Amino acid sequence: GKLLGIDASGAPTQGDLLVDQSSLTGESFAVSKSKDQEVYSSTVVKQGQQRAIVTKTGKNTFIGKAAHLIATTQDEGHFQKVIGKIGNFLILFTLVLVTIIIIVQFIMFKDVPVRGEVLKILNPVLILSVASIPVGLPSVMAVTMAVGARFLATKQVIVKRLAAVEEMASLNVLCSDKTGTLTLNELTFDEPYLSEGFTPQDLMLYSYLASEYGANDPIELAIRQAAERQVPLLKNRLSSTAVPGYEISNFVPFNSSDKYTQATVRDLENEVTFRVVKGAPQVILQLVGGDEMALRASVVMAQRGLRSLGVARTVAGSDKWTLVGLAAMLDPPRPDSAETIKRCQHMGLSIKMVTGDQQIIAKEVSRRLGLGDVILDASHFYNADGFAEVTPEHKFRIVEALQRQGLLVGMTGDGVNDAPALKKANVGIAVHGCTDAARSAADIVLLAPGLSTIVDGLLTSRAIFQRMRSYALYRITSTVHFLIFFFVVILAYDWTLPAKLLVLICILNDLASLVIAVDNAQISSKPDKWRVGQLIFLSCLLGILLTGLSFGHFFYFWKVRGYFPHPEVDGDMTVVDRSLDSIMYLHISSAPHFLIFSTRLKGYFWQSMPSLMFTIVIVGTQVVALLMVIFGWLTPKIPVTEALAVFGISFVSCVVLDFIKVQVFKYWTHLVPSSSRRRNNFLPGDK
């Protein structure tokens, strides 16, 4: 016997309803629902009172499905996948070489007592493992993204998920909600149709007189606000309701049967009374006895997606209606939207409008923004510039379908209806004035109105991407070089650097690499992409070449200069000369570290100069290493001339490797076509 409130969708069994579906579609205009059309859960009945049959409840409703989609979306971030691949490669490479060393060492020292055998084996294994596993990789990446996020905060862009700063650089498609994001979310008046003898001010004045003061309907609000701006009589009035010179004696509000509002007005100056009416164009044209030109104008407005209102008045002392004109209304694009879209497109980002509004309205807004006029429903997306009449689940599926094409997709929105798609997108962006649901689902929140700050986000993210790619290339190269060189010299010559020097290399070089977060970056004009295969191939090539250089140093200073890697017996005395340790320490510290000047760019290193701080820190750490071997800090002293020779050769070798790097990038582009180029054929600009 209790009356229960339930979350349900249903269908009216009779009559019409005017329903506000803004919680689902984001559009503020009420929608007419006739018999057998579904009325969705969470929508609000604005006019009418009818019985309905409940057809769905709970998670089976549209809003329930949206909530379920948000709760079940737990995709691993794109950046995490990339870092995982790089980390797994380095760890696997380390494990393979370490395993070989362990096996060989067991064979070599099988006759040594167990304690000595274990210590002999563990020493090189631990040194290789500690020095080669990229413990600094996550830290450098995190600091680089944090610096970018801090900069974006000054542009009123708040980053909630740090990896989104980097992932934004790789976006191919940005799906954007229309209302409140691309548009102002407020009705304004377009070019009207006017009958002969009437002005735009007349049209606004009579529309105002026929409006219900205090009504919260979007159309009524828009009329009152526009009239108060345009009609001189309304600008300097004392009362907020009265119209100077006019008195409303009777008012008939809107009802679903008549489809118009009507006011009886007395002109106090001329002492005459007339009636004014405002409503659906077809109803008003019928009242005035038809008007062929006005009818054609209303059809054109409808085809352009403009909402039109007919306004008519009677002649004083007569019941004959005269058409004043047709008012055309539209939620206009934001002033900066078209320019922002144009800049995004020039940066290789495809913009697709996703809206719950009608298709013709979406086409008109898209035309004004320069997006194109291919506006399809949610089931077609390959060649679409936008999508209309979509629900929250449709938005989610559109983002999902684009991702299945191998594209990285961004989504902007402000409403509850956008939350599932914001959660599903690689980068979800909640715009200014968003709801709590949208803010919670998004990765980035814009505090300034419109999308113009997205351009700042794109530029910053692409700069961050270049810095991170630069560090990844340097770090993998250094690890490959380190592992191969010490793998060979440990097995072949039973030699390695003292542990303290290896640890010092790791600490100084990794700490210095943190300044890459403030380095200058050459921003790409197209979406960036982590090409892990290319990155690992180039890193291995550069690492092998560096290894060859290291062997050159090792054998030259051993065989030619006489710095022996092992203690020598001179008569009855064992002479210990560890000068080769100092030479190889300086070389292994400086040669890979100088390479970071090359890995900053795909082109030659001099095409974009590094920042002053970056240069000072990178060079400074190697100057410290140089002074250590000259003055004998923590390592034996070596002659200044030989120290400078090692230092200079390390730098010159990086110039040679820079040339090789450029050629690899050049030929890789021609020989290995990018998968992104193969799958982007349907994006605007490639059609």
- Closest C-alpha among 564, 578, 541, 563 to residue 645: 563
Angle at 259 (CA atoms; ends 208, 213), nearest 5 degrees: 30
Which is it for the CA torsion 312, 314, 315, 319, positive or negative?
positive
11, 39 Cβ separation under 8 angstroms = yes
Do 474 and 504 share a domain, yes or no?
yes
Q: How many domains does the chain have?
A: 3
> How many CA atoms does the CB half-sphere of 363 hold within 13 Å?
14
Q: How far apart are CA 424 and CA 73, in angstroms?
A: 6
Do 538 and 609 share a domain, yes or no?
yes
Token pair recorded at residue 570: 């001179």
Tell how strand 17-20 and strand 30-33 pair up.
Answer: antiparallel
Q: How far apart are CA 628 and CA 626, in angstroms?
A: 5
CB atoms within 10 A of CB 429: 30
Do 255 and 306 share a domain, yes or no?
yes
Q: What is the value of pTM for the model shown?
A: 0.80
pLDDT of residue 15: 52
Query: The domain spanning residue 284 has which CATH number?
Result: 3.40.1110.10
Q: What residue type is 24 in one-letter code? A: L
Q: How far apart are CA 164 and CA 434, in angstroms?
A: 19
Do 128 and 222 share a domain, yes or no?
no
Q: What are phi and psi of 599, to 5 degrees?
A: -70, -10
Burial degree of 665 (CB within 10 A; 0-12, 13-18, 19+) = middle
The torsion of the CA quartet 399, 403, 405, 411, rounded to 10 degrees, works out to 50
Do 116 and 214 share a domain, yes or no?
no
Q: How far apart are CA 188 and CA 173, in angstroms?
A: 30
Token pair recorded at residue 145: 């993204």
345 part of a folded domain: no
| 3-class SS string, 500-536 | HHHHHHHHHHHHHHHHHHHCCCCCCCCCCCCCHHHHH
Q: What residue type is 242 in one-letter code? A: A
- Closest C-alpha among 213, 219, 183, 205 to residue 308: 219
3-state SS, residue 569? strand
Token pair recorded at residue 59: 């998670």
Residues 6+ apart with CB under 8 A from 118: none
Token pair recorded at residue 48: 């009418």
Token pair recorded at residue 327: 């008012």
Residue bearing tokens 């440990």: 490
Token pair recorded at residue 100: 């070989």
Do 42 and 95 share a domain, yes or no?
no
Token pair recorded at residue 484: 């191969």
pLDDT of residue 673: 54
489 part of a folded domain: yes
Largest CA distance in the chain: 135
Q: How far apart are CA 592 and CA 467, in angstroms?
A: 17
Do 150 and 196 share a domain, yes or no?
no
- The Cα-based distances of 134 to 100, 474, 499, 635 in angstroms read 20, 11, 17, 25
CB atoms within 10 A of CB 156: 14
User: Strand pairing partners for 157?
Assistant: 446
Token pair recorded at residue 202: 């007349």
| 3-class SS string, 466-480 | HHHHHHHHHHHHHHH
pLDDT of residue 573: 45
128 part of a folded domain: yes
Structural domain ending residue among the three candidates 311, 328, 345: 328
362, 179 Cβ separation under 8 angstroms = no
519 part of a folded domain: yes
pLDDT of residue 74: 66
Exposure class string for 225-258: b at 16+ Cβ within 10 A, else e:
ebbeebbeebeeeeeeeebeebebeeeeebeeee
Do 42 and 139 share a domain, yes or no?
no
3-state SS, residue 277? strand
Query: The domain spanning residue 474 has which CATH number?
Result: 1.20.1110.10
pLDDT of residue 476: 92
Which is it for the CA torsion 457, 463, 467, 469, positive or negative?
positive
Do 621 and 549 share a domain, yes or no?
yes
- Closest C-alpha among 401, 412, 344 to residue 377: 401
- The Cα-based distances of 44 to 48, 100, 389, 392 in angstroms read 11, 71, 18, 17
pLDDT digits over 167-212, tens only? 999 999 999 988 888 888 888 888 999 999 999 999 999 999 998 8
Kindly list the averaged pLDDT for each block of 10 residues, start to end, along the chain of length 687. 46 63 66 76 76 81 74 71 86 86 74 57 72 76 91 93 91 89 86 92 92 78 86 72 83 79 89 91 90 90 86 87 92 89 92 83 86 69 70 86 90 88 93 87 91 90 92 91 90 85 85 88 89 90 94 90 66 59 93 91 89 93 94 90 92 91 82 51 42
The phi-psi region of residue 214 (left if phi > 0; otherwise alpha if psi is between -120 and 50; otherwise beta) is: left
Query: The domain spanning residue 23 has which CATH number?
Result: 2.70.150.10
Q: How far apart are CA 588 and CA 586, in angstroms?
A: 6
Which residue range forms the structural domain that includes residue 675?
A: 78-159+465-679
Q: What is the DSSP letter of 565?
A: S
Q: How far apart are CA 276 and CA 209, in angstroms?
A: 7
Residues 6+ apart with CB under 8 A from 394: 378, 387
Do 55 and 92 share a domain, yes or no?
no
Q: What are phi and psi of 445, to 5 degrees?
A: -120, 125
365 part of a folded domain: no
pLDDT of residue 110: 60
Burial degree of 670 (CB within 10 A; 0-12, 13-18, 19+) = exposed
Do 598 and 473 share a domain, yes or no?
yes
3-state SS, residue 672? coil
Residues 6+ apart with CB under 8 A from 586: 625, 626, 628, 629, 643, 646, 647, 650
Active site residues: 177
348 part of a folded domain: no
17, 410 Cβ separation under 8 angstroms = no
Do 262 and 138 share a domain, yes or no?
no
685 part of a folded domain: no
Task: Show the DSSP H helices in 135-179 as ranges.
Answer: 136-154, 163-167
392 part of a folded domain: no
